[in-house]
Structure formats: C-alpha cells, structure tokens
Structure 1
Amino acid sequence: MARELGADVTGLEVLECMKDPEAELGLNEHHQNEVINYMRFARSKRGLRLKTVDSCFQDLKESRLVEETFTIDEVSEVLNGLQAVVHGEVESELINTAYTNVLLLRQLFSQAEKWYLKLQTDISELENRELLEQVAEFEKAEFISSNKKPIIDNIRPKLAPLNEGGAAELLNKEILRLQEENEKLKSRLKATETQATNALDEKSKLEKALQDLQLDQGNQKDFVKAQDLSDLENTVAALKSEFQKTLNDQTENQKSLEENLATAKHDLLRVQEQLSMAEKELEKKFQQTAAYRNMKEILTKKNDQIKDLRKRLAK
C-alpha cells in the first residue's frame, strides 16, 4: 500500500480539500473528476515504471543467472549492478513525478491569478497519514472496484470562467474597485513625481545660487584680505618712517646735547680757573692787610710758646 501511494499522492489540490470524509474528497463533481483523471495518469505512469523495474530483474536473471554456483564477489557484483539500474529508474520516476506536479500546480495557479487570487499550500499536510489513507480508500473505490465510474475522456478542456453572480460578481466588483484605486494611486504617484521633479529643480537652482554666493564670498574675502594686507603694509611703512624720523631727531638732539655739554664743561673750567685766580688774588690781598700781619705774628708767637712748652714738658 505504501509503495502504491508513494508515486500518486503528491497533488496538493487533493490534500487541501479533504475536510469532509462523508463527501469522499470534499470536492464538487467537476473537481473530483479532475482528481480522478490525475490519479489515472499517475497509475499509468506508475505501472510503466514498475514494469521497467520488473524487466530489470528479468534481464538480470536471463543474462547473469546462468550458472548454478556463484562466489561472494560475483553475487556482490550482480547486486551492485542491479542496485544501480533500479536506483536510476526510481530516481528518474521521482524526478519526473515532481516535475509533473509542478506543471499541475502551475496550471492551477495560472487560473487563480486570472481572478487575482493568491493560493496557499501547506506542505506539512503532504505527510498526514489520515489524509493519505483517505486517498488510498478513494483510489480503491474508483479504480479497484469493477467499473464504478465511467471513463472520462483524457483530453480535458481548460477551466472556463464562472458565471456572473454570487461570489464571482463580488469578485468582479472588488477587481473594479481595486482598478479604480490603482488609477487613483497612479494619478497621485504622477503628481508626486511632478512635485519631486520640481523640488529637484528648485534644489539644483538653490545649490547653484549657493555656489555662486560662496564664490562671491570667497572673492570678497580675498579682496578684503588683500586690502587689509595693503593697509597693514602702509601702516608699517608709516610707523617705520616715523621711527626713523624720531631716531634722527634723537640723534640730532644727542649731538646738540653733547655740544652743549662740551660748551658747559669749557665754561665750568673757565669759571673754576677764574675762581681760583680770584681766590689767589683775594688771599694775596688779604695777606697784605694789617690784620693779617698781626694775626700772623700772634700765631707765630703762639707756635713758639707751644714749642717751648713741649720742650719743658719733655725735660
């Protein structure tokens, strides 16, 4: 049973809808017939692949098992060869089954996208044993029982859109509403793009004006710096000229003071000489007076008396 289910029970459309056991797969008659067609296709592919595996064993028996006894190495070689062939057949079938299921899902999803629907799948349900057993029972009821269901033509037309009304009408209204909203959003997006473009243009103009202003400020700063430097040079030159003039004045004043000092020294020496001559003249005149002569005589007598007293004291 597990081997028979392995290649068939892979369609998500079967597992997603098995919620009501009383209604077999829980699908309407149309969808259930589609499932039966897919299972018939899977059974035919499975039968062909099993026949291929059986033929591998039959070929081995006819080509290799012709002797009565085999060694261990020969048995291992035979089994390895058989394993490689069976492995390749099974792998090829599994890959083909997976790709077939992808194509089936693609058909379903494409039809759903035409109605702006988003289908979802639950991979974990693929290993639900209860659902797998339900599929097995459904397969028994449909294919093992004798002619329970009529054979449906293998060529199936594509699904046609549902008639207007009910859920389809609501879906169309929702689609129209979404299209109108989409148009509004497109208009708003266009207006926003226009505003953004205008804002970018304004930004470019402001950046250019800022660059021009910065350039003007730079030129103005250079002009101010040059003017300040020129003023500073003129000020330094004026100060240097004034300093040189002051230095020259001081040099002239120093020379004048030195000359005046020399003149004053000469005048002082002349005055001192005149004073000395005047003193000598005065002393000479004073010595010629009677008072001076009398004073000198008195001093001479006193000196003589002192000398005499000293001699007497010495004795």
Structure 2
Amino acid sequence: MAELGLNEHHQNAVISYMRFARSKRALRLKTVDSCFQDLKDSRLTEDTFTVDEVTEILDGLKVVVHSEVESELINTTYTNVLLLRQLFYQAEKWYLKLQTEISDLENRELLEQVAEFEKAEFLSSGKRANTEISKPKLAPLNEGVSELLSKEITRLQEENDKLKARLKTVEVQATNALDEKFNLERVLKDLEKAQGNQETKFKSQETADLEAKLATLKADFEKSLNVSNENQKSLEDNLIATKHDLLRVQEDLLLAEKELEKKFQETAAYRNMKELLTKKNEQVKELRKRLSQYEAED
C-alpha cells in the first residue's frame, strides 16, 4: 500500500508499535539525562577536584548509565519477542508456520526505508495526528491443555515483570549504596587528614560507626544481588519447562490429527464412496472396451 509494502491494517499495527517504541526510547533518554543531572547536583559542588576524585565520579556515572542502557536493551529484546509471540500465536491457531529472515534485520537499505517511514509518520505536519488506530485483541485459544499452558505463560510473564521491577529497585539501591560509600570514604579521608598523628586518640567511636555502617550496606547489597540471581535462575528453569510442555502438546495435536484422518477412512461414508468410484472405473473401462470394438469394425 505505502512505503513498507503492507496493507492498511498491518501498516496501522506497525505505526502503533513504532509509537510505543518512540515513547519508551524518549523515557529512557530522559532517565539517562537525569543521571547526568543528578551527578551535577550531588557531586559537582566544589570548585576543584583531584584526579582520583574525577575518576571516582566518572566510574560511578559509568555504572549508572551502563545499567540504564543494558536494562533498555534487554527490555527492547523482550518486547520484540512478545510481539513475535503474538504473531506466531495467531499463525499457529490456523496451523500456519511463519518464517523469519534474520539477515534482513541488518539490511541498511531496509533500515533506511523504515527510518524514512518513521520520519514521514511522526515528524510531518501531523497528517495522522487525529487518526485512531484500531488495536485488535488476540482471540484466546480455549482448548484443554493449550489453555492451561497459555495461563501458565501469562503467569510466568507477570512474575518476570515483577522480578524486573525488583531488579530495577535493587539496582537503584546499589547505586545509592555506592554513592553513600563514596561519601563515607570521603568523610573518612577528611577525618584522617584532620586527626593526623592523633588518630589513635580521637578516631574511636565515630569512625567505628561509619565503618560498621559501610559494612552493613555492603552486606545488604550482596544479599540483594544473590536473591535476584536466584530468582532469575528459577524463572529461566520455569520457562524451559513450559517450552518442553508446549512441544509435547504440539506432538499430541499432530498425533490426534493423524488418528482423526485414519478414523475418517474407516467410516461407512468413506468406504461407500470408494466402492462407488471403483464401480464407476469398471464401467468406464467396459465402455472403452466396447468403443474400441466398434472402431475396429468400422
């Protein structure tokens, strides 16, 4: 129909997905910008910094930005997988097998074509600003084991989303813990410089409290990471088991189809039709034989 070579319905679906991707991309860019702004507001409060302090600040910023970018890339991958799952789900309902060409995902000409399509759709004078794109719902497959598997996959996806949110919270806590650690280390350095040779006499309680607090934060952070890793491993095991169950169900459906075809061949209607065709073939042979005799006499 247009630039992408799709009909109107499919092109509207592509536009809807691109709008969703643009909003997610803009939100993530705002998050990255806020990381730099938070760094400016919280750390860049002095006129001069040493090389070690600048290195420390950049390392902390690197951890935060790396986490944000990695989270977005992972989320984009999962989102694309869910989109493919919707398409394959509809195809399997009608016993279709879709094929994908991975090499086309790096085709520069096609990528530029998509970029031009996006620019024409979202950066133009707003020719589709008031257009509402229909969002058809996938029809559920309410048949036996397939319905149970669908519910189980939905439950696992919800659990996966909860784990992602929890992991995000842990990452934020870890970032806060690192910032607090840097602040505590700076306080310790200031105390050591101020106390000098009298460190043994005046350090005592305050420094001990700071060290204890730092140790507690480190232990909590390691504990949170361990819990997150265990939950992630459990989720992966559940997804693998569900995939195996789905493959077994597909095999059962194929066997059932073959069995149904076999039973149809054994029905009386099928046998009667086969006998009728056999009689018709014999009659045709007899007529041809008679016709050949008449032709020989002529």
TM-score range, shorter chain: 0.3 to 0.5
TM-score under structure 1 length normalisation? 0.44
Q: TM-score, normalised by structure 2?
A: 0.47
Greater C-alpha radius of gyration: 1
